[in-house]
Structure formats: structure tokens, C-alpha cells
Amino acid sequence: MNFDIAIIGAGNAGLSLARNLFRDQTKKKIVVIEPELPENKAANWCTWMHKDNLSIFKNSIKGSWDDWAVSNKTQKIIHTSSSYKYVCINASMYLSQIENELNNSNIHIIRDAVVEISKKNNRKEIICKNNIVSASHVYDSRPPKLNAGLLRQHFYGIEFELTEAHHIDSVILMDFDVDQYNGLHFIYALPFSERKLFVESTVISKELNQVEWYEDQIKLWMKNKNLDYLKKISSEKGVISQGKIEYKNEGIHCIGARGGAVRMSSGYAFHNIQSQVGELANNIRNECYDVPVTMNKFVTFMDEIFNKVLINNPQIAVDLFLNTTKSLSADEFARFMINRTSFNIWSKVIAQMPKKPFIEQILKSIKRG
């Protein structure tokens, strides 16, 4: 089977790229290779979106909110925005919809798992479990390997149907009023409706925990908030690298998380992936096949510094998050999170960094080159 373009992985990046190419009415022969069905993808992908842009995703939005909160035992900062919404996209709805849109198009989906990619003359040969595919250009979005020993954000979340209505009126982005012995730990909660609540325990550390550990933390947090549940509706778990992802494989382009689209300091990727594949589709229309740089060098440098200051000074981590949130308006916070940061926003964020460790870390990083 010969194609112009092969996209490996029909997740966020792979299918969003395919859809952009389809909507561009490309004449190229394209294949997407993915082992799993979209309806089996259990994930809530959340991000901030400007209210004017919501309609693009309207059929896969599971929830959207004007308010979000960051708190610990003694303080709670609530942001309310009239321009940005915190939006939750249901992964399986989003991906199923794109696959439906691609039906009867010149973009083929092969339900198979890629095993190996090799170069053959000017083309790439993609060996799958049951097929062999040849393509001129390959975009690989298989999840990157996450090495032990690197800082990772790991989480487990459950959507509950509660016995009674809760009184949580904003998204809980980070509630640090939980066990902090296993790394920087917070509870994240999405109030989908009066009685439907998604609660996730997230840890930033090098070592992962057993599922039971996160589950106990979720239950303890709910007990402290007097929340009881009738049943568990669904669950999701994940691990996201907070370190740099770099794949060097000659001639094979990486996109999505594998292509460095995850923001190192926050783990958010949705917005970056959409920008990356949007620009890439434009490039392809003009016969340029390189993946655009999603994260500029300054953001990467600052995120690395931020993470290192956190690892080396865990005692200040919670205050750092709270103070940074407090120093920004809701709109500035949203723009910071989706990588639309101005000099003014950066200066406010930097002003919250503890001076001595921050300057020491910058000097170390510059010295290391």
C-alpha cells in the first residue's frame, strides 16, 4: 500500500492533522494507522478557550466553566473570566466525530499497530502487525517513552454520580489541601452537573503510585468535603512527562506529545497540539513537510527553570502556585496556560519566583548551555 502521507496514531494530534488536511481538500493519498477504536479512548482533555472559538469544538464539549480555583488549607483564589472558558473535551466524542467526517474521503484509516519504521530508497516502510505501508512522509504521534527518573505528572481520576447535589461552583484546578508526602500533590475536580463530579488525584514527582493510592486520596478528599457517591461512572489515568521530549529519527516527523507539544511546567497540551497541526497542514499545502516549532525557546527555558526550582525546593511549591495564580488576572492566567503570554504576564510570573533559587537555577542552566 503506497501513500503520500502516513500519520501514525489517531489521537488528538494524528486525527486533528488528518481533519485539517481533509478540510483543505488535499489531493494527497493519506493513511492514518491506529490500533484502537475512538470510542474506547477514556480521557477528558481540558483547556482554556476564548469564547469566540468554542463553536469549533461544540459537538465534543462535555463541560465548560467561567470560574476556576486554586487553593490550600488556608486560602482559595478564584478566577472568573468573561473572555475565556475552561473547557472539557470528551476525547472519544472528539475522535469519533473526526473519524466519521473522514469516512468516504481520500484519507484511509487502518486499524493496526505500527511495529517498526525503516527507510527504503526515498520512502519509508511502516511495518505494522498485519500490514506493510509505504509513504513519502511520516508523521508519528505514538505516545513518547517516559523514562523513570524524570519528573512526571501522574494522575488517576474518577467521575462519580453523587448521592446528593454538591456545592462546588467552580472548576477546582488545584486543591493542595491533601497528603504532600509522595511529591507535589493536588486534587483536580470538574463539576459536570449538580450530581456528576469528576475528581482526580495528581502528583508531580519522579515515582509513580499504585492506582489504589490515588483512589484512597480521592475518597479521603471527598469525605472531608462530605461528598458521598452512588456509583462510579468512568475513570481515567495518565502519565505526562514534565521533561523535554526529543526524538531524533531521520526523516520521520514527530507530532503531538511525541513532537514536544506538552507544556513542561503544566502538562497541558491540547492547545499546542491544535496550533501545531493547524500550522503543519498549512505547510503541507505549500509542499513543506517540516513540523513547526510549537514551544518557543524562551518558554521551554523558563518551564525548565520552573520545574527545577520546584524539584529542588519542594517546600515552596504550593505557595509558588498560589502566589502565581494570585498575581494574574483570570484572562492573564488563561493566556499563560495556553501559551499566549505577553511580556507583562511573564514579568508577573517571574516576580513570584523565589529570587535566590531562581537566579541560581538560571545561572546553572546558562553555564550548562
Ligand X SMILES: Cc1cc2nc3c(=O)[nH]c(=O)nc-3n(C[C@H](O)[C@H](O)[C@H](O)COP(=O)(O)OP(=O)(O)OC[C@H]3O[C@@H](n4cnc5c(N)ncnc54)[C@H](O)[C@@H]3O)c2cc1C
Instruction: Give the residues lining the site for ligand X (CB under 6 A).
Output: 8-14, 33-36, 43-47, 113-114, 141-143, 236, 238, 240, 256-258, 268-270, 273
CA 220 – CA 185 distance, rounded (Å): 13
Query: In Å, how far are 43, 90, 210, 258, 288 from 20, measured between CA atoms?
Result: 22, 19, 39, 19, 15
Enumerate helices (H) and strands (E) in the chain, giving the number of each. 9, 17
CB of 330 to ligand X, least distance (A): 18
C-beta closer to ligand X: residue 252 or 353 = 252
C-beta closer to ligand X: residue 131 or 323 = 131
CB of 324 to ligand X, least distance (A): 18
Strand partners, 231: 161
C-beta closer to ligand X: residue 142 or 185 = 142
C-beta closer to ligand X: residue 15 or 353 = 15
| Rg of the Cα atoms in the chain | 21
C-beta closer to ligand X: residue 13 or 77 = 13
**Alpha helices for 286-329 (secondary structure H):** 297-312, 317-327
C-beta closer to ligand X: residue 196 or 323 = 196
Query: How many other C-beta atoms are found inside a 10 Å radius of the C-beta of residue 205?
Result: 17
One DSSP character per residue, 86-136 reads EEEEEHHHHHHHHHHHHTTSSEEEE---EEEEEEETTEEEEEESS-EEEEE
C-beta closer to ligand X: residue 208 or 350 = 208
CB of 61 to ligand X, least distance (A): 13
CA 336 – CA 338 distance, rounded (Å): 6
DSSP letter at 339 equals: T
CB of 367 to ligand X, least distance (A): 32
Query: In Å, how far are 32, 114, 215, 350 from 130, measured between CA atoms?
Result: 14, 9, 38, 52
CB of 114 to ligand X, least distance (A): 4
Cell 477546582 -> residue = 172
Collapsing DSSP to helix, strand or coil, 360 comes out as helix
CA 136 – CA 154 distance, rounded (Å): 36
Phi/psi region, residue 221 (left: phi>0; alpha: psi -120 to 50; beta: rest), is alpha
C-beta closer to ligand X: residue 114 or 218 = 114
CB of 38 to ligand X, least distance (A): 8
C-beta closer to ligand X: residue 9 or 183 = 9
C-beta closer to ligand X: residue 130 or 315 = 130
- Nearest residue (beta carbon) to ligand X: 11
CB of 64 to ligand X, least distance (A): 13
CB of 14 to ligand X, least distance (A): 6
CB of 12 to ligand X, least distance (A): 3
**Sequence-distant (≥ 6) Cβ neighbours of residue 337 within 8 angstroms:** 47, 48, 263, 266, 268
**Residue 260: how many CA atoms within 13 Å on its side-chain side?**
16
CB of 312 to ligand X, least distance (A): 25
CA 185 – CA 204 distance, rounded (Å): 6
